[in-house]
Amino acid sequence: MELSKKYKKIIRKMAEERFPGEAEDIVEKAALQYEEFWKVTPDIGGSENRQFKDLDFLIAFFSFYEACGHRIGVQELDDFTYEAMIKDIEAASAVMGWDKPMMKPMITKMYTEYIEQINDHVAKGEWGNTWRIEMNPEGHKEGFAIHTRMCPNVDFCRAHGYEDFLPHVCKQDYRIAEAMNGILIRNHTIPLGSDYCDWWYFGNNEELPEEAKERLARNV
């Protein structure tokens, strides 16, 4: 695995802003660290797995973290997320977001196909600790809901001593939902001791049902 040009560009930009004169050295070290991380990280199918990019993003960030000697923290995680994901999501949100009628049927179809793909690979003993997804296990009548069991992001952070970052890693999901003109309701996460993470989405232009309002107030 090789660190992408996109991530090298982001790391270079952030390093130049924070550590003048060190940027090229940090990019080089990050690229080497990225390769080392992937050597010891379970294979979840690479780009064939549509959520691979989530783990790849995290490994790129922590490659930067190691390359600069742990001199960055949660603010840089926020900035890295913006540069790598949120900027593009915001640009596309005018035509594709949780506030659009097309979103729920489109994402339902996508996840239905993805679950079949996961199950097929897992049955063959492939894709290791990839996410296991359950569609709307609580039977919500409104919004879009899934549960995810197992999380390679959590496993990676725990394997490398980054547990303190985990709450903030999870909070990026709220920022991404907001960039997609959405609201994410979540009361359970694996890092906080549950055996699953819950995801219940609404458009930011929707009237929330009472249960959703109550659970939104308890977001973790």
Residues 54 and 3: their CA atoms lie apart, in Å, by 14
What is residue 167's predicted lDDT score, i.e. its pLDDT?
A: 96
Residue with tokens 């890693």: 169
CB count in 10 Å sphere of residue 18: 15
Q: Name the token pair of 85.
A: 């994901």
Residues 186 and 217: their CA atoms lie apart, in Å, by 10
What is residue 31's predicted lDDT score, i.e. its pLDDT?
A: 98
Cα–Cα distances in Å, from 189 out to 19, 44, 88, 149, 208?
35, 21, 26, 9, 22
Domain count, the chain: 1
- Sign of dihedral through CA atoms 75, 77, 83, 85? negative
**Global pTM value:** 0.96
pLDDT digit string (tens) for the chain, length 220 residues: 999 999 999 999 999 999 999 999 999 999 999 999 999 999 999 999 999 999 999 999 999 999 999 999 999 999 999 999 999 999 999 999 999 999 999 999 999 999 999 999 999 999 999 999 999 999 999 999 999 999 999 999 999 999 999 999 999 999 999 999 999 999 999 999 999 999 999 999 999 999 999 999 999 9
Q: Which domain holds residue 173?
A: 5-216
- Which residue type does 44 have? I
Helices (H) and strands (E) in the chain, counts: 9, 4
Helix (H) or strand (E) holding 88: helix 87-92
Which 3 state secondary structure label does DSSP give 150? coil
Instruction: Find, among 108, 151, 146, 145, the residue nearest to 129 by Cα.
Output: 151
